[in-house]
Amino acid sequence: MLIDLENKTTFQFDISVLEEIASSLISKEVELVIVDNSTMKTLNREHRGKNTPTDVLSFPMEAPFTQQSIFGMPLGSIVISKDFILEGADKFEHSTQDELSLLFIHGLLHLIGFDHETDNGEMRVREKEIIEAFNLPSSLIVRTTI
């Protein structure tokens, strides 16, 4: 198992779908935390200075890569808002599992070094490739190009 799950909500989903996505991109463990918007707002304020909830946050492991390798430390943590999963699934008319998968892909790409705020579209290209490979809805691509 590549995903260490900490679900702090009642949201139910199939983690094997996320495991398959993760194994196509990484070989190190990643922590996935599902929270509500209140918790997400607090995290976003503390770590990004933004006093609003957000859909997904990524926290790369701070230890040097050599220490991560030696001690088997995880790649980092991905925190996803259950409320954003439900809202996104409804808004874009697909399943909550698909919405979670889309947000997980976005967070995982941040953990492995992509940054759509500073790159020249490389993260968007990689997201599109993964979304197509797993036959997921293209709503993530559409909403990030608006």
Domain map of the chain by residue range? Answer: 3-144
- 53-77 pLDDT tens trace: 999 999 998 755 555 455 667 889 9
- 119-145 pLDDT tens trace: 888 999 999 999 999 999 987 666 655
Fold of the CATH domain 3-144: Collagenase (Catalytic Domain) (3.40.390)
Which residue in this structure is represented by tokens 């707002």? 41
Model pTM score: 0.90
